[in-house]
Amino acid sequence: MKKLQDKPSPPDMPNYRVEDTTEFLSTVAHELRTPLASLKGSIALILAGAAGDTRDEITDLLTIAHNNADRLIRLVDDMLDVAKARLGTLTLHLQPISVADCVRRALDSMNGCARQRDVTLKLDVGGDVPVVTADPDRVEQVAINLIANAIKFSPSGSTVAISVEHRKDDVQVAVTDSGPGIPKEDLAHVFDRFYQGRNARECQSGSGLGLAISKAILDGHGGSISARNNRGAGATFVFALPLFAHHGVHIADGTK
């Protein structure tokens, strides 16, 4: 079990406010983003042949550099989202949306990754699903986080089942895999910041932020997210967006 926690300040250190540290983190992450994007863009250009032909060995090394720049950008984006959630400045661009469309977009962007690991993504949209008021990019982000986790823990040749359905007062999305499931002692902590369970040790990728951000996004929408183990094998993550919400975060048009 690996858990990186905020360390308490030593007694002889000045007492920094959580907000100061979070704002500092947010600024650093923001400043890192632009040079990282430029680095990734330049490598992509070389890989696309803009600087002429490159030897296979160089292409291989550049591909590794490109993938790692990409990973760093994702980490920086996650850090920015965590900081925003802590500072209460996570902004939602609310509008009437189709949750099924958001999930479809998430599926499209994860299909390549699933194929690489010989995992099939299956979507089941149950009947007429009403429109909800939500931020479509953030809903897609949550779906991507859950599908990425499901793929990461899925055995080769298996299927990840994703469903979208209308229940009485909300629209519910469930992502089910047939991986190892979540160890009992980790179940209560998987939505904590920087928490990576025992089972995540073998997969080096990830930062333990995806589920914490997903929870902050759902909280902001007045929705919910939960995890459970299936009776047979694997885990199911479920999130629900209310049809009539009380939103708890900044709304893009300035209303609260």
Ligand X SMILES: Nc1ncnc2c1ncn2[C@@H]1O[C@H](COP(=O)(O)OP(=O)(O)O)[C@@H](O)[C@H]1O
Give the one entry of Mg ion, ligand X, none that residue 197 binds, where binding means its C-beta sits below a cut-off of 5 to 8 angstroms depending on kind: ligand X
Residue 193, Cα to own-chain centre: how many angstroms? 12
Q: Which of 84, 197, 220, 221 binds ligand X (CB under 6 A)?
A: 197
Site for ligand X in 160-189 (CB under 6 A): 177, 179, 181-182, 186
Q: Is 149 in the site for Mg ion (CB under 5 A)?
A: yes
Which residue sits closest to Mg ion, CB atoms considered? 210
Q: Which is nearer to Mg ion, 180 or 248 (CB)?
A: 180
Return d(Cα 215, Cα 81) in angstroms, integer.
11
Return d(Cα 242, Cα 200) in angstroms, integer.
31
Return d(Cα 90, Cα 80) in angstroms, integer.
10
Burial of 253 per CB tally in 10 Å (0-12, 13-18, 19+): exposed
The 187-216 site mask, x for binding Mg ion (CB under 5 A), equals -------------------x---x------
Q: Are 206 and 115 in contact (CB under 8 A)?
A: no
Q: Which of 76, 92, 211, 218 binds ligand X (CB under 6 A)?
A: 211
Return d(Cα 184, Cα 214) in angstroms, integer.
21
Piece in contact with Mg ion (CB under 5 A), picked from 120-128, 130-138, 141-149, 195-203? 141-149
Helix (H) or strand (E) run with residue 217 in it: helix 210-220
Binding site for Mg ion (CB under 5 A): 149, 206, 210
Binding site for ligand X (CB under 6 A): 145, 149-150, 153, 177, 179, 181-182, 186, 190, 195-197, 199-200, 206-212, 235
